[in-house]
């Protein structure tokens, strides 16, 4: 399989898997057993080491790093946990129209529970409308939750400006960095972010682990009842091997991946433009993640392209993978002003450090045949 669905999940680095498996076999106690035996203490030490290592990479301190089960859980904990703990200050939350489903479903639940939510629009390239954001902030706004970069089209938000607007008003800021970190650099101290979501399986780490940075002094309420794990912010014993795997993924991250990714992304885009007629970019090439390219193949359906590519051994997604079981047009593309037709014709290629130009060459050749075939029978072209 030529795998171009790395924004959904990446293949873990073999070194990550090895480290996790060694750890799971040797350090199988839980860290909360420290008061009973030395194996629990040894596990606790390893987890602390991982926490400090990751914190150090982000320029924050270890006691600001909370381990969860996923980016989805981190988003839920950040948004609902913050809202519940701070509802005495106000019940208004601001988000954007292009967020991941874990954010939109979290705020929708809050709406059902009596909170008010404003959904700020984006421009044609997927940048949050800053004037609209500014106008949306009210005296009772307690939280702004927006993504650092978009998971479908790759557009990286102007975090400096967003943060300035939000922090000027003394409002808390949650950033969903699940698909963006560490592909784009972020200085947590400079940007004044209060809560940040990270998802290690998006950068060659394991699934089953998420990270939530919680700035010291930020009040959040835990969502799971039970033990007092993770600074009493998340009950349930930690997925300790995955924490070790997440640390390894950070250790193995190299900025040269970004150079490689950008190079093959541009190569893919230029060949698409040159060799296949009526291909349109969704998003922007400037200020975009190095590994995500989203294009519309006019007059045909993305689903058909994806199925045919899969048959040829190439894995891509149409719209967001999370929605690929239903055929609704992507809410991200619609918010960017794309028509339903063009949204349905979109394909997301998301690349990894393992991908090569040769894989792209093969894909282009197959795409030329597939697009040609599908257009020949397209009702939008009169079935010609
Ligand atoms: C922008 C964004 N946020 C959150 C998530 C959820 O992360 P996870 O898959 O770790 O639950 C994803 C996953 O696709 C994402 O792309």
User: Has 322 been annotated as catalytic?
Assistant: yes
Say what the pLDDT of residue 378 is: 83
Here the tokens at position 168 are 């000027």
- E-assigned strand segments in the chain: 2-3, 65-68, 92-96, 116-120, 141-147, 172-176, 195-198, 210-214, 279-281, 292-297, 314-315, 346-350
Say what the pLDDT of residue 383 is: 56
Spacing, Cα 306 to ligand 1 middle (Å): 21
Q: Which of 322, 334, 364, 381 is catalytic?
A: 322
Say what the pLDDT of residue 188 is: 87
Ligand 1 lining (C-beta closer than 6 Å): 8, 70-72, 75, 100, 102, 147, 151, 176, 178-179, 199, 201, 210
Name the closest-CA residue to atom 10, ligand 1: 71
Contact indicator for 1, 316 with CB cutoff of 8 Å:
no
Pocket test for ligand 1, best of 8, 9, 72 (most atoms within 8 A of CB): 72
Instruction: Please tell me whether residue 280 adopts helix, strand or coil conformation.
Output: strand
Name the closest-CA residue to atom 12, ligand 1: 178
Q: Phi first, then psi: give them for residue 173, nearest 5 degrees.
A: -125, 120
Strand partners, 122: 128
Q: What is the pTM of this model?
A: 0.96
Residue 169: which residues within 8 A CB-CB, separation 6 or more?
A: 137, 141
Name the closest-CA residue to atom 14, ligand 1: 8
* Per-residue pLDDT in tens (0 to 9) along the chain, 384 residues: 999 999 999 999 999 999 999 999 999 999 877 778 999 999 999 999 999 999 999 999 999 999 999 999 999 999 999 999 999 999 999 999 999 999 999 999 999 999 999 999 999 999 999 999 999 999 999 999 999 999 999 999 999 999 999 999 999 999 999 999 999 988 888 889 999 999 999 999 999 999 999 999 999 999 999 999 999 999 999 999 999 999 999 999 999 999 999 999 999 999 999 999 999 999 999 999 999 999 999 999 999 999 999 999 999 999 754 555 567 889 999 999 999 999 999 999 999 999 999 999 999 999 999 999 999 988 888 755
Dist. CA 364–CA 290, nearest whole Å: 19
Q: Read out DSSP for 77-97?
A: HHHHHHHHHHTTT--EEEEET
- E-assigned strand segments in 109-158: 116-120, 141-147
Instruction: Please tell me whether residue 146 adopts helix, strand or coil conformation.
Output: strand
């Amino acid at each position: 399989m030529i795998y171009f669905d790395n924004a959904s999940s990446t293949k873990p680095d073999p070194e990550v898997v090895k480290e996790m498996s060694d750890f799971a076999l040797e350090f199988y106690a839980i860290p909360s057993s420290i008061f009973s035996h030395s194996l629990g203490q040894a596990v606790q030490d390893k987890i602390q080491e991982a926490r400090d290592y990751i914190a150090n990479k982000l320029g924050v301190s270890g006691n600001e790093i909370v381990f969860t089960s996923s980016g989805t859980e981190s988003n839920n904990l950040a948004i609902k946990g913050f809202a519940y703990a701070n509802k005495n200050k106000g019940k208004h939350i601001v988000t954007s129209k292009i967020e991941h489903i874990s954010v939109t479903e979290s705020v929708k639940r809050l709406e059902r529970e009596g909170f008010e939510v404003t959904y700020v629009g984006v421009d044609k390239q997927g940048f949050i409308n800053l004037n609209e954001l500014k106008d949306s902030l009210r005296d009772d706004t307690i939280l702004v939750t927006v993504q650092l970069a978009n998971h479908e089209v790759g557009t990286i938000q102007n975090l400096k400006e967003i943060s300035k607007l939000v922090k000027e008003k003394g409002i808390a800021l949650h950033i969903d960095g699940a698909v963006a970190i560490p592909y784009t650099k972020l200085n947590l101290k400079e940007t004044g972010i209060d809560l940040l979501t990270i998802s290690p399986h998006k950068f060659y780490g394991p699934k089953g682990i998420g990270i939530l940075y919680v700035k010291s002094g930020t009040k959040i309420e835990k969502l799971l009842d039970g033990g007092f794990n993770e600074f009493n912010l998340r009950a349930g014993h930690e997925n300790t091997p995955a924490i070790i795997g997440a640390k390894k993924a950070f250790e193995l991250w190299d900025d040269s991946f970004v150079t490689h990714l950008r190079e093959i992304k541009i190569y893919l885009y230029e060949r698409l433009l040159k060799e296949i007629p009526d291909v349109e970019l969704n998003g922007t090439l400037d200020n975009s993640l190095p590994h995500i390219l989203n294009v519309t193949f006019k007059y045909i359906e993305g689903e058909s392209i994806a199925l045919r590519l899969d048959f040829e051994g190439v894995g891509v997604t149409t719209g967001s993978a999370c929605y690929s079981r239903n055929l609704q047009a992507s809410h991200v593309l619609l918010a960017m002003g794309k028509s339903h037709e063009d949204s349905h014709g979109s394909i997301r290629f998301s690349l990894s450090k393992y991908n090569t130009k040769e894989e792209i060459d093969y894909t282009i050749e197959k795409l030329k045949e597939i697009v040609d075939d599908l257009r020949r029978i397209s009702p939008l072209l009169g079935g010609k």
